[in-house]
Amino acid sequence: MSSDQINKIASYLLNGEYEKREVVKVTSSIKQDLTLEEAYLVQEEIVRRKLSEGKKIIGPKMGLTSYAKMKQMGVETPIYGYVFDYMLINNGGQLKLSELIHPKVEAEIAFIMGEDVEGPGITGAQVLSATEYVIPALEIIDSRYENFNFTLPDVVADNASTSRVVFGTTLKKPDWIELDLVGAIITINGEIKGLGAGAAVLGHPANSIAMLANMLAKKGKKIKKGDIILSGGITEAVTLQRGDNVTGKFDSLGEVTFTVVE
């Protein structure tokens, strides 16, 4: 794929995000035969542009981390994208619906890295030993594509639908908790909308971070000390509406909350 095509697709997707409007998926509009490798080149261009605008990376994030989702999409590995500083919302803060397109929320466990982790061959046990803390999180995904309709290369190019994140304030050492057994519940306006356990993420959330390290190694990259990494959705993604009061309750990790406003 030429650099002109990469730039064209990156502009197409960034315009959708910044103008807060849906776009037709890339594989139906610009490049029908977009490959996964090419999609990551588009993602890298989007990341490069955001960095050049002065935005800062908080850390990578993983997506499609349940075996059911991978089977549904016909892939053997999850995907990754990047969370930026402008995407952060304070715990207990407000999500502005006017800044997004069609947001959904899911509960996740985030890893705060105490050491660099560089693949290949990284295991979940090595990730846990390199992790400073784990914290609860609510990720708000917001695909730029119409009706969340996309192929795997489409969503990778779109930075894995990354949009907003609310991190909790409870920090726990990873060896204090059996992360695969951590239960999480999302309630909206007091009604349970989603639930699951850490094992939904590749059997154990640390396995997701290990897979990320090994995927990044193929690009000559690594997980860095200080990165805050979303390991993947424990619950299904729940559509948000104006006026929603959203709470994520995590065993041993406390609560994460936000309110959806105009």
Name 255's bridge partners: 249
Q: Is the pTM of this model over 0.85?
A: yes
- Please provide the DSSP assignment of 47-115 as one string: HHHHHHTT--EEEEEEE--SHHHHHHHT-SS-EEEEEEGGGEE-TTEEEEGGG-SS-EEEEEEEEEESS
Place of tokens 């090595």: 126
pLDDT tens sequence across 126-150: 999 999 999 999 999 999 999 888 9
The overall average pLDDT reported for the chain is 96
- Calculate mean pLDDT across residues 49-59: 98
Q: Which residues are CB-contacts of 216 (< 8 A; sequence separation ≥ 6)? A: 60, 80, 119, 222, 223
Q: At 72, is the pLDDT very low, low, confident or very high (cuts 50, 70, 90)?
A: low
Task: Give the span between the Cα atoms of 33 and 38, in whole angstroms.
Answer: 10
Element (H, E) at 15: helix 3-18
pLDDT over 70 percentage in the chain: 99
- Calculate mean pLDDT across residues 231-241: 95
pLDDT tens sequence across 92-118: 999 999 999 999 999 999 999 999 999
Radius of gyration of the chain (CA): 17
Q: How many residues does the chain have?
A: 262
DSSP structural state of residue 121: S
Distance of CA 109 to the CA centre of its chain: 11
pLDDT tens sequence across 149-207: 899 999 999 999 999 999 999 999 999 999 999 999 999 999 999 999 999 999 999 99
